[in-house]
Amino acid sequence: MTARIGVVTFPGSLDDRDTQRAIKLAGAEPVALWHKDKDLKQVDAVVLPGGFSYGDYLRAGAISRFSPVMATVIEQAKSGMPVLGICNGFQILTEAHLLPGGMLGNDHLHFICRDQKLKVENAETAWTLDYESGQEINIPLKNMDGRYVADERTLDMLEAEGRVVFRYVTGGEFADGFGNPNGSLRDIAGISNEAGNVVGLMPHPEHAVEPLVGSGRTDGLPFFTSILKKLVNA
């Protein structure tokens, strides 16, 4: 049976179609979900895509967190359903308290769009099984409010529990994709919940899934093959 992975569209979502395409390329069935509907259509996992939901008014993700669909996503995530939040989706996950910490405006106060080098810190989450710990990958990044912040106690907890999933690779030339692009504390690019079924990250793996589209790389495809492996072995 083909795995069904839902992709939620909010007002202002930009990357929902790209995410659906990435899911299809990985071999799963993408299922479009609308923000006003509580029904998840019996999907096996959910992706909250990138964009500027509700225009990022109040705070990025703050209004989307109260969309009807999120009540069901929160309930199912707490019961073990895999959920991936990409960029704006990551912001929504922090606003929904499915992931700790929060997102602030980039420290340089500018929108940034570039290829970004990441280090895989945790290859054991539901969304990273097809990576290797310590592997470096190149994933497109585009955000205005991408600075991950949390108090020292939370940061220490994330580090101690292995919940920092991705880190920006520092060193080298910033123009070549190295360096912290937004001032995120401890160079954190992505984190997970304690169970590892919920993952959020700022870069966009759906834009790196085939050679002729997006970045021209396939470094992002393992996100979507990883979840298939997780669902098959569940």
The Cα–Cα gap between 110 and 129 comes to: 33
Asked about 206 being catalytic, the answer comes back as yes
Task: Spot the catalytic one: 35, 95, 204, 207.
Answer: 204
Task: Spot the catalytic one: 35, 121, 206, 207.
Answer: 206
CA-to-CA separations, 89 to 56, 75, 153, in angstroms, rounded: 12, 16, 24
Asked about 194 being catalytic, the answer comes back as no
Task: Spot the catalytic one: 35, 87, 95, 121.
Answer: 87
CA-to-CA separations, 138 to 84, 134, 167, in angstroms, rounded: 18, 13, 12
CA-to-CA separations, 66 to 36, 71, 73, 163, 183, in angstroms, rounded: 10, 7, 11, 25, 28
Give the end-to-end CA distance of the chain in Å, rounded to a whole number.
Answer: 13
How does DSSP classify residue 169? P
Asked about 113 being catalytic, the answer comes back as no
Catalytic residue positions, numbered: 87, 204, 206
